[in-house]
Amino acid sequence: MIGPSKRPFVLGCSALLMLLVHDTAYADVRAVVGAQLSFYRKSPQYPQQSDKRLQGAYNAKLSAGGKTAQDLFYDLELYGRHKPQAAHANTGDIRQATLSHNGERVEVTAGVLAETWGTLEAYNPVDVINQRDQEEDFRGKVKLGQPGAKATVRLDDDTQLTLYGTTYARERRYAEGGERNQLLPVEVRHSKFENGRMAPELAARLQHRATENLDVAASYFVGHSREPLLTPVIGARGLEGLDAYYEKMQQAAFEAQYVIGDSVLKAEAAHRAAESDQSWGGGVGMETTFSKLLGSVGDLTTYLELYGDNRSDKAPLTPLDHDLYAGLRYALNDPRGTVIELQFTHDLRWKSELIQLNASQRIFDDFVMTSTLLLPQRTQDDPALTGLARDAQLTFGLSWYR
């Protein structure tokens, strides 16, 4: 059954999907079907998690983009996943479903938005429009679609202003039930939004190319926090669940990136004001690309980033709040599109670490094989990563692209 709070979201998206289906002759349609198999070395951290050392999952994604007969541009991305060990074995989301009209100086877009703000690689502290899906990716890089509209005004060749209006606030998704990579010890039982789920939220973002090498942006957001305050629910058996509360928040943010030779210097900063806390947070970093490394055709990209904030202890937990991030990405530029990545995160406060090695390669014409090795280190005392303490894992994936 579809709950009353979700019906406007589903009905609105269904109407847009009907229009897209009507115009499929004009569409660029792409599909991905994949399967993953994960091997875990140890039993899980929490009793409700599955103790199976071998766990699988399946996913599918449909993307489409094009132009309708009415000269409207559209973009669509649907995602679905089946994971038997999860609290909800079958999940999915409309990550994007938008119609756009592009005028001479103004572009108007409405539907389910997919927005990304920020310049940094590991995490974007200024990014606030879309809610994060930490069931799909515990780092928070995957996001949920956000119903709303935006208007982008090109003020001149180097400056544009984007105004946002959204509604139907989304809850953060967490890994729950029997699946691994859980950040919370128990499930979220209830969620409440201070102004109600359907309350309007507003934002503005000004982007400007100051020089040939310098891009800056400033933004302001008024709405519900994307990170909930979590309250323990205590019962006869002890901790039985968590209640999530999304309070009203205002966020002012700034971001910049400066290109110097083969390097890009990056910075993000945000000030958040809510009833429970007022704080600053952000990060700085550098990305450098070494082309044709050692005479080969491959390119090596390095990342070095530092994150920090001054949140109080009662503020919601967030990834990368006092952390050092370093990464390497080597693209062989071979016919199979081979890419190897190494990521390292060190928490300066709790001394925990995450080491991750990724590799991907195309096989045949339409298949891509991936592998990921994740090694959490000393995470048992880190409140944000305790659930990963026993989740060292090796994952293999195979995806079919059409």
Q: Is the dihedral of CA 7, 12, 13, 15 positive or negative?
A: positive
| CA–CA separation, 357 and 187 (whole Å) | 29
Instruction: Give 2's pLDDT tier (boundaries 50, 70, 90).
Output: very low
pLDDT score of 13 more than 60: no
- Average pLDDT (196-225) is 98
Q: In this model, does residue 375 exceed pLDDT 50?
A: yes
Residue in 200, 249, 242, 199 with CA at minimum distance from that of residue 224: 249
Name residues whose C-beta falls within 8 Å of residue 276's C-beta, 6 or more positions apart in sequence. 229, 247, 312, 314, 315
Q: Which pLDDT score, from 0 to 100, does residue 86 have?
A: 84
With 90 as the cut, is the pLDDT of residue 296 above it? no
- pLDDT band at 166; cut points 50, 70, 90: very high
Tell me what the mean pLDDT of segment 109-136 comes to: 96
- Could you give the percent of the chain with pLDDT greater than 70? 92
- What mean pLDDT is predicted for residues 223-231? 95
For residue 1, what pLDDT is reported?
Answer: 40
- 337-366 per-position pLDDT tens digit: 999 999 999 999 999 999 999 999 999 889
Least confident interval from 22-26, 110-114, 237-241, 278-282: 22-26
Average pLDDT over residues 150-160: 97
Asked if pLDDT for residue 161 goes beyond 50, the answer is yes
Residue with tokens 């970093």, as numbered in its chain: 285
Domains for the chain: give ranges and CATH numbers.
4-401 (2.40.160)
The pLDDT of residue 321 is 81
Q: How far apart are CA 219 and CA 200, in angstroms?
A: 17
Q: Is 25 within 8 Å of 150 (Cβ atoms)?
A: no
Is residue 19's pLDDT more than 70? Answer: no
State residue 168's pLDDT score.
96
Q: Is the pLDDT of residue 44 over 70?
A: yes
Q: Is the pLDDT of residue 300 over 50?
A: yes
Class of residue 302 by CB neighbours under 10 A (exposed 0-12, middle 13-18, buried 19+): middle
pLDDT, tens digit, for every residue of 52-65? 999 999 999 999 99
pLDDT band at 14 (very low <50, low <70, confident <90, very high): low
User: What integer pLDDT is reported at residue 264 of this predicted model?
Assistant: 98
What's the confidence (pLDDT) of residue 251?
Answer: 98
pLDDT (0 to 100) of residue 8: 47
CB-based burial, 34-51: b 16+ in 10 Å, e otherwise: bebebebeeebbeeebbe
Beta-carbon contacts of 385 under 8 Å, excluding residues fewer than 6 positions away, are 183, 347, 350, 352, 354, 376, 379
CA angle 11, 15, 19 (to 5 degrees): 165
pLDDT of 184: 92
- Range of lowest pLDDT (40-49, 166-175, 254-263, 309-318): 309-318
Residues forming a β-bridge with 112: 97, 147
DSSP output for 261-278: TTEEEEEEEEEEE-SS-E
**Distance separating alpha carbons of residues 137 and 319, to the nearest angstrom:** 12
DSSP string, 173-190: EE--BT-S--SSSS-EEE
Q: Between residues 354 and 6, which one has the greater pLDDT?
A: 354
The pLDDT confidence band at residue 318, using thresholds 50, 70 and 90, is confident
pTM to 2 decimal places: 0.90
Q: How confident is the model at residue 69 (pLDDT cuts 50, 70, 90)?
A: confident
Q: What is the pLDDT of residues 177-192, one digit of tens each?
A: 889 999 999 999 999 9
